Amino acid sequence: MTQETVVSPADIVIAYKAMAATQEGQIVLQDLINKFGYARGSMYNPHEQHPQIAMTIAEGQRTVCVYIGNMIDSDPAMVENAGRSIMTEDEEYDIESLR
Protein backbone atom coordinates (compact mmCIF):
# COMPACT_ATOMS: atom_id res chain seq x y z
CA MET A 1 0.00 0.00 0.00
CA THR A 2 1.35 3.41 -0.99
CA GLN A 3 1.54 6.21 1.56
CA GLU A 4 -0.18 9.43 0.39
CA THR A 5 1.30 12.87 0.94
CA VAL A 6 -0.97 15.90 1.00
CA VAL A 7 0.35 18.82 -1.01
CA SER A 8 -1.27 22.18 -0.44
CA PRO A 9 -2.49 24.36 -3.31
CA ALA A 10 0.09 26.97 -2.28
CA ASP A 11 2.85 24.36 -2.63
CA ILE A 12 1.62 23.52 -6.12
CA VAL A 13 1.69 27.21 -7.11
CA ILE A 14 5.22 27.50 -5.69
CA ALA A 15 6.28 24.47 -7.75
CA TYR A 16 4.84 26.01 -10.96
CA LYS A 17 6.63 29.30 -10.21
CA ALA A 18 9.93 27.48 -9.55
CA MET A 19 9.63 25.61 -12.84
CA ALA A 20 8.86 28.80 -14.75
CA ALA A 21 11.80 30.63 -13.15
CA THR A 22 14.37 28.36 -14.80
CA GLN A 23 15.70 28.68 -18.34
CA GLU A 24 14.64 25.10 -19.02
CA GLY A 25 11.15 25.84 -17.73
CA GLN A 26 10.91 28.87 -20.01
CA ILE A 27 11.91 26.73 -23.00
CA VAL A 28 9.25 24.14 -22.15
CA LEU A 29 6.57 26.78 -21.58
CA GLN A 30 7.35 28.49 -24.87
CA ASP A 31 7.20 25.14 -26.68
CA LEU A 32 3.80 24.34 -25.13
CA ILE A 33 2.44 27.78 -26.00
CA ASN A 34 3.74 27.52 -29.57
CA LYS A 35 2.16 24.11 -30.07
CA PHE A 36 -1.05 24.40 -28.05
CA GLY A 37 -1.63 28.05 -27.16
CA TYR A 38 -3.51 29.09 -30.31
CA ALA A 39 -2.97 32.73 -29.43
CA ARG A 40 -2.36 33.78 -33.02
CA GLY A 41 -4.98 31.87 -34.92
CA SER A 42 -8.28 30.12 -34.91
CA MET A 43 -8.72 26.65 -33.50
CA TYR A 44 -11.28 25.97 -36.22
CA ASN A 45 -9.90 24.33 -39.35
CA PRO A 46 -12.58 23.58 -41.97
CA HIS A 47 -10.12 21.32 -43.82
CA GLU A 48 -10.11 18.76 -40.98
CA GLN A 49 -12.17 15.63 -41.59
CA HIS A 50 -14.13 16.36 -38.38
CA PRO A 51 -13.52 20.07 -37.68
CA GLN A 52 -15.71 20.24 -34.55
CA ILE A 53 -13.85 17.35 -32.91
CA ALA A 54 -10.47 18.82 -33.86
CA MET A 55 -11.55 22.21 -32.48
CA THR A 56 -12.66 20.62 -29.19
CA ILE A 57 -9.31 18.85 -28.83
CA ALA A 58 -7.44 22.07 -29.63
CA GLU A 59 -9.47 23.98 -27.04
CA GLY A 60 -8.58 21.38 -24.43
CA GLN A 61 -4.90 21.80 -25.26
CA ARG A 62 -5.21 25.59 -25.10
CA THR A 63 -6.98 25.33 -21.76
CA VAL A 64 -3.98 23.48 -20.31
CA CYS A 65 -1.70 26.36 -21.38
CA VAL A 66 -4.10 28.86 -19.79
CA TYR A 67 -4.14 26.80 -16.57
CA ILE A 68 -0.33 26.69 -16.41
CA GLY A 69 -0.17 30.46 -16.96
CA ASN A 70 -2.76 31.04 -14.24
CA MET A 71 -0.80 28.88 -11.80
CA ILE A 72 2.40 30.80 -12.53
CA ASP A 73 0.58 34.12 -12.04
CA SER A 74 -1.16 33.00 -8.81
CA ASP A 75 -0.25 34.19 -5.34
CA PRO A 76 0.44 31.13 -3.14
CA ALA A 77 -1.11 32.89 -0.14
CA MET A 78 -4.38 33.40 -2.02
CA VAL A 79 -4.80 29.75 -3.04
CA GLU A 80 -3.93 28.10 0.28
CA ASN A 81 -7.54 27.42 1.18
CA ALA A 82 -8.66 26.42 -2.33
CA GLY A 83 -8.38 22.66 -1.74
CA ARG A 84 -5.85 19.86 -1.58
CA SER A 85 -4.00 17.77 -4.14
CA ILE A 86 -2.96 14.20 -3.38
CA MET A 87 0.46 12.80 -4.27
CA THR A 88 1.83 9.37 -3.51
CA GLU A 89 5.25 8.89 -1.98
CA ASP A 90 6.38 7.54 -5.36
CA GLU A 91 6.01 11.12 -6.66
CA GLU A 92 8.63 12.63 -4.39
CA TYR A 93 9.98 16.15 -4.42
CA ASP A 94 11.06 18.47 -1.68
CA ILE A 95 8.49 21.27 -1.42
CA GLU A 96 10.63 23.17 1.08
CA SER A 97 13.48 23.47 -1.42
CA LEU A 98 11.10 25.30 -3.79
CA ARG A 99 10.17 28.04 -1.31
How far is C-alpha 79 from the chain's CA centre? 15
Average pLDDT score over residue span 37-48? 72
CA distance 21 to 26: 7
Banded model confidence at residue 41, pLDDT cuts 50, 70, 90: low
CA distance 65 to 19: 14
Query: pLDDT digit string (tens) for 71-95?
Result: 999 988 887 655 444 445 555 555 4
Average pLDDT score over residue span 58-83? 83
Whole-model pTM: value is 0.68
Q: Return the pLDDT at 2.
A: 65
CA distance 1 to 81: 28
